[in-house]
Amino acid sequence: MAKPRVLVTVGPSNSFKLEAIDPGFEPKMRDSVELVCLEDAIAAAETNPVQVWACFAHSSVNPDVVRKISPRNTLRAVVNYGVGTDHIDLKGLAEMGVPVSNTPGVLNDATAEMGWALLMACARRIPQCDQFCRTGQFSKYNNLVYMGKAIAETTLGIVGLGRIGQAVAERAVGFRMQVLYAGRSRQPVEVEARCGNAQHVPLDDLLARSDYVVLCCPATAETNKLMNKERLHMMKSTASLINIARGTVVDTDALVEVLRTKVIDSAGLDVFEPEPLPTDHELYTLDNVALAPHRGSATFETRAAMLKLVCDNIFAAVAGEELLTRCN
């Protein structure tokens, strides 16, 4: 009996680079399914169609491609490696009757920890201090070089108090921070209590009051360039902006300008627009920004949990069962 076929795509170009995926993926799959590339899936769409599309690293998934690989509507599911789905047309696929899953929950802690790593890097000038030492400038003691900012007993503003935002807020309790959050709706009282008695406030108020602003909101039409020039200018001149959401949430050109002119103190970025940034981008020339190459969920433990959830969703779809974490 032929194995069920699973389309695998990696990155915006929808390539078939299995080596770019968690090395545990192919061994877990090989005995149960046949992994195929997009070209093969399209070529055999009429005679031997794929049953599941597994997408990694923000592959572009839309109804037009689904029709090419599944002209007879035989695609059972799209399984996404990651919690963000801004690269998937969720509504369009739902209208076609194609369920989509992602990997929520298992990456909350790792992504929140990355947010805190960037926040601390900004507060204590870690990138600058590292460069100072590596370039031989630490030849004598200077009591005033690269002075940092306090974290304890300051104000943390979180834009989007979902799962990841809550994980960020919970870690603020140990720093005795006042926690503000902005979002479409207020969270239940018990969630606010767990998050350091977080207060739901309008976004503009949050920006004006926060010493550290952490973006945790999803990428949607409403949040596209949410942090534009006007809103960036609402922030304190001593504040830091941390983005662990999506690059599209921030107007990159406006951010470069406020960092260059010191309108805000600093930024810590794990995501960009565009992504990856061009190698000659001005952000790389600024010394008040901490950069990471979209490593929010990149711990061994988290990636193993994500991979297991992806595999479990693939096996469920192949078996004709409900997806464990459907999101459309």
Q: Give the catalytic positions in this structure.
A: 246, 275, 294
What is the side-by-side order of every strand in the sheet holding 52-56?
34-36, 5-10, 52-56, 77-80, 100-101
Structure tokens at 244: 């662990």
* CB 217, CB 192: distance < 8 Å: no
* Separation CA 317–CA 326 (nearest Å): 11
User: No. of H helices and E strands in the chain?
Assistant: 12, 12
**Contact predicate 209/238, CB 8 Å:** no
Structure tokens at 151: 């974290």
d(CA 273, CA 160): 19
Q: Taking the chain, what is the end-to-end CA distance rounded to the nearest angstrom?
A: 32
Q: Which of 315, 326, 227 is nearest to 32 (CA)?
A: 315
d(CA 164, CA 217): 9
Distance from C-alpha of 85 to C-alpha of 59, rounded to nearest angstrom: 10
